[in-house]
Structure 1
Amino acid sequence: MTAREAMPNAYVAGKGNLSDEDATLVARRDRALGPAYRLFYETPVHLVRGEGVWLYDSAGKAYLDTYNNVASVGHCHPRVVAAMASQAATFASHTRYLHEAILDYSERLLVTFPSALSHMMFTCTGSEANDLALRIAREHTGGTGVIVTENAYHGVTLAVSGFSPSLGPGVPLGAHVRTVPAPDPELGDRAGEVFAAGVQAAIDDLRRHGIRPAVLIVDTVFSSDGVIPDPAGFLAPAVAAIRAAGGLFIADEVQPGFGRTGAGMWGFSRHGIVPDMVSLGKPMGNGYPVAGLVLRPEPVERFGAKGRYFNTFGGNAVAAATASAVLDVIEDEGLIGNAKVTGAYLADGLRALAGRFDAIGSIRAAGLFIGVDIVAADQPDARRTHRIVNALREAGVLISATGRNANTLKIRPPLVFGRDHADIFVDRLDGVLRALA
């Protein structure tokens, strides 16, 4: 059973234990929003407020958030909210007027990247950032071919959904798209060599069909493929392969970026590479819609000479002020260091659980990004994963699952997650595993 078929944390109409109030809300959603939306969990959660790593439902029950990287520095962080409100009350227009906020933020953010990545372009979402990256890459390379991993997710625009296989068979891949197996951490030092061979095979197949390669794009911890951060450095051979073919490498940092791995600001840095473009998204504004693209100057030169780029809300003054406040919090609260220390503590706690429960297989961790495989007789067990995800929801912990086999617990809490929160999570997972044993 694949992740696309399993959807382990999705509400199915007519099931779940809905209150009358929540059943009414579900019916209103169906009427107003139509059939394409989904709700998490067998019994959806009716949330009304958030603070730090906690979310609260309409009855006042608290849920430990171990999944949400949108509010990356904690739900409703007061410094971020204050910056957002202050700028909105002062000036809130777009980038076609001179204004310091977007420049101050851009210069400050670019310092966190290798010097070769010297330009910043703004969007509202990571999907838009990846869409823009593809447009630029096509103009620069003259190619259209896109290479992604087999269960990748990169966004929902028309172009980007066409190279996001995790969206499922109902969203067809483009004829110019080739998928490759995700890196296999079990191969150790050979992981990079084998992954690069897959990329080269995709390049060769594109050429055989008369398609010039344009990009290799990966989420640098392979979140949708099951969270694969190690061995560090394995991406370099694949990047060399796409560049030798005349294409560009795009690092999708929407999920691993802004300090989550605990090894600096950006996930790609663990691999000793400098991308041609880096897409940013969700964590950038802690819930405010701000995203962007950081890139070398060469790819955008021809694109910028031939046409204008404008995004009404991308990089507006409120977005810049909000994103700047997020950087303040990351720096002032030492959140990259916290991701490293707390992530290691949490991973150790999970490994201790693995010694007592055969349902836990491989554990892969980079800071506060952890994947925990759920297995039966050492084989992927999507059904048990489904039960764990929903049992944790009942126990007051919000989590989801990922991976091609839908059997990997995806642990990705706000960066203010501390050791006491890690203890709560491990204790409640312990209880769930004992109950389900």
Structure 2
Amino acid sequence: MTQTDLIARRERLLGPAYRLFYDEPAHFVRGEGVWLYDAAGEAYLDVYNNVASLGHCHPRVVAVITQQVNTLNTHTRYLHETILDCAETLLATLPDHIDRVMFTCSGSEANDLAVRIAEAYTGRTGIIVTELAYHGVTHAVSQMSPSLGEGVVRGPHIFTVPSPLSFAPEDRAAGFAQAMDEVIARMTRAGFPPALFICDTLFSSDGVISDPAGFLKPAVERVQAAGGLFVADEVQAGFGRTGEAMWGFQRHGLNPDLVSMGKPMGNGHPVAGVAMRAELIEQFGKKSRYFNTFGGNPVSSAAALAVLNVIADEGLITNAREVGAYLKDGLHMLSDHSDHVGEVRGTGLFFGVDIVTDGKPDGDRARQIVNYLRQHKVLISATGPHGNVLKIRPPLVFRPEHVDRLLAVLSAAVSNS
């Protein structure tokens, strides 16, 4: 079957809401480490997929999934040691005050559950998100995901705060805190005092905003002082991605009330969760029961436990820091030599690179660059309010030789765009 036939079949069967990457969609049949392979056996360098955070088909994760699925797979209503081992190991990576965890199948479900818990604890419904946030696709969290587009209506209880990128780095902490004060006052007047503020701590949909470390703390403290909870959405920034700590909120010196996690947690196996302070789930549990048929099942727990062990055993946080620094230097060098490459933002193995023309965001040029890379077998994407921010987010096992390959093709892409 030709690629044209596959695309037509997909459109007929799956409908128009699904989107494909790239002007020339890719058809992959196998993955290994940082590489994806198409039907012709051609290798593509994956510099985008944080789902397979340890690299595609990591042998240790594959082995434990295979062993467990060959032994038993039920759910969390039965006792099972692996579920508890996973919970215990995961909680040990979090601050001491975060001492309970509940498992789900996706980050969307984790954020949905976090909202329910926060509303039950505070007795409020007001939610604060950034102006281009993405937190998932359930009915509740799609309303608080402006990046999904105008077709997804934001609820009257959901208020947006300007992206931190609206403020210069030297003014970011004070400016974002003041903006938070203003939105809290506005939503309180409207009858929706804040139940929670939720953010991806690398602001990946807002254009990737990492610096200065700590800028987020004053704004979060404003929310907590106003009686709201802070939900650290670590689906993008967690599991060592920043190269500085296990969790993105840690580089800001924050004390979250809840921590949601997803994509990288099972290295491709669908497992996610939300961790929290004990008193939050105590309040929720008095009035509600929670059960998720597949969330936290023994196979999922085995996968998640293996991911945690691999991150520790293979020193992947250190690798993200060291290889990320090498990549950052290369991106800055590219920016210094091209008028079309603007600000470079990011930390560890997650970067946003502005593509500009005459100093202004150029989403069309960014798209050309992304598609040039795809044609030359390197995979990235774009994000940000103008679609002009190259989104670079490779697996945590990325090495300097992979950086060299990326930079060579990216330099050619910029020159030819």
TM norm structure 2: 0.98
Counterpart residue identity of residue 292, structure 2: N
**1:356-371 correspondence runs (5 A):** 356-371=337-352
Q: What is the CA distance between 1:226 and its match in structure 2? A: 0.6
- 1:263-308: CA deviation from partner (whole Å, max 9, x where unpaired): 0100000011110000000000000000000101122211101111
- Tell me the residue number matched to 1:412: 393
Q: Structure 1 residue runs of 4+, over 3 Å off?
A: none
CA contact (8 A) 2:165 2:207 kept: no
Q: 2-side partners of 1:308 and 1:53: how far apart?
A: 41
- Tell me the residue number matched to 1:101: 82
Match of 2:105 among 124, 131, 142: 124
Q: What is the CA distance between 1:188 and its match in structure 2? A: 2.9
Q: 1-side partners of 2:191 and 2:54: how far apart?
A: 46
Q: What is the CA distance between 1:182 and its match in structure 2? A: 1.2
Q: How many residues align?
A: 417
Residue aligned with 1:231, SS: coil
Q: 1-side partners of 2:79 and 2:306: how far apart?
A: 21
CA contact (8 A) 1:251 1:275 kept: yes
Counterpart residue identity of residue 401, structure 1: A
Match of 1:233 among 195, 214, 217: 214
State yes or no: 1:247 paired with 2:228. yes
- Tell me the residue number matched to 1:291: 272
Q: What is the CA distance between 1:212 and its match in structure 2? A: 2.2
Identity of matched residues, %: 60
- Tell me the residue number matched to 1:42: 23
Question: Could you say if the C-alpha distance between residues 186 and 195 of structure 1 is closer, same or farther in structure 2, counting changes exceeding 3 Å?
Answer: closer
CA contact (8 A) 1:74 1:286 kept: yes
State yes or no: 1:166 paired with 2:158. no
- Tell me the residue number matched to 2:162: 181
Q: What is the CA distance between 1:180 and its match in structure 2? A: 1.1
- Tell me the residue number matched to 1:268: 249
Residue aligned with 1:361, SS: strand
Match of 2:294 among 313, 318, 341: 313
Residue aligned with 2:168, SS: helix
Comparing 178-187 and 353-362, the one that deviates more:
178-187
Counterpart residue identity of residue 301, structure 1: E
Comparing 209-218 and 177-186, the one that deviates more:
177-186
- Tell me the residue number matched to 2:44: 63
- 1:238-267: CA deviation from partner (whole Å, max 9, x where unpaired): 111111211100000000100010001000
Q: 2-side partners of 1:351 and 1:187: how far apart?
A: 18
Q: What is the CA distance between 1:33 and its match in structure 2? A: 1.1
- Tell me the residue number matched to 1:15: none
- Tell me the residue number matched to 2:259: 278
Counterpart residue identity of residue 370, structure 1: F
- Tell me the residue number matched to 2:187: 206
Residue aligned with 2:205, SS: helix
Match of 2:305 among 316, 319, 324: 324
Residue aligned with 1:304, SS: helix
- Tell me the residue number matched to 1:401: 382
Structure 1 unaligned blocks of 5 or more? 1-19
- Tell me the residue number matched to 2:132: 151
Match of 1:139 among 120, 124, 127: 120
Comparing 234-243 and 341-350, the one that deviates more:
234-243
CA contact (8 A) 1:126 1:279 kept: yes
Structure 2 unaligned blocks of 5 or more? none
CA contact (8 A) 2:103 2:272 kept: yes
CA contact (8 A) 2:75 2:295 kept: yes
- 1:374-419: CA deviation from partner (whole Å, max 9, x where unpaired): 0011110111001001111001111100111111000000000000
State yes or no: 1:22 paired with 2:3. yes
State yes or no: 1:423 paired with 2:407. no
CA contact (8 A) 1:165 1:173 kept: yes
CA contact (8 A) 1:144 1:213 kept: yes
- Tell me the residue number matched to 1:6: none
Residue aligned with 2:164, SS: coil
Residue aligned with 2:407, SS: helix
- 1:132-152: CA deviation from partner (whole Å, max 9, x where unpaired): 000001111111111000110
CA contact (8 A) 2:47 2:392 kept: yes
Question: Could you say if the C-alpha distance between residues 397 and 57 of structure 1 is closer, same or farther in structure 2, counting changes exceeding 3 Å?
Answer: same
Comparing 357-366 and 193-202, the one that deviates more:
193-202
- 1:124-181: CA deviation from partner (whole Å, max 9, x where unpaired): 0000000000000111111111100011000000000000000000111111111111
Match of 1:91 among 72, 96, 105: 72
Q: 2-side partners of 1:389 and 1:188: how far apart?
A: 27
Q: 2-side partners of 1:335 and 1:411: how far apart?
A: 17
Q: 2-side partners of 1:396 and 1:183: how far apart?
A: 33
CA contact (8 A) 1:68 1:414 kept: yes
CA contact (8 A) 1:185 1:230 kept: no
Q: What is the CA distance between 1:76 and its match in structure 2? A: 0.6
Q: 1-side partners of 2:202 and 2:54: how far apart?
A: 19
Q: What is the CA distance between 1:185 and its match in structure 2? A: 7.9
Match of 1:335 among 292, 305, 316: 316
Residue aligned with 1:225, SS: coil
CA contact (8 A) 1:262 1:339 kept: yes
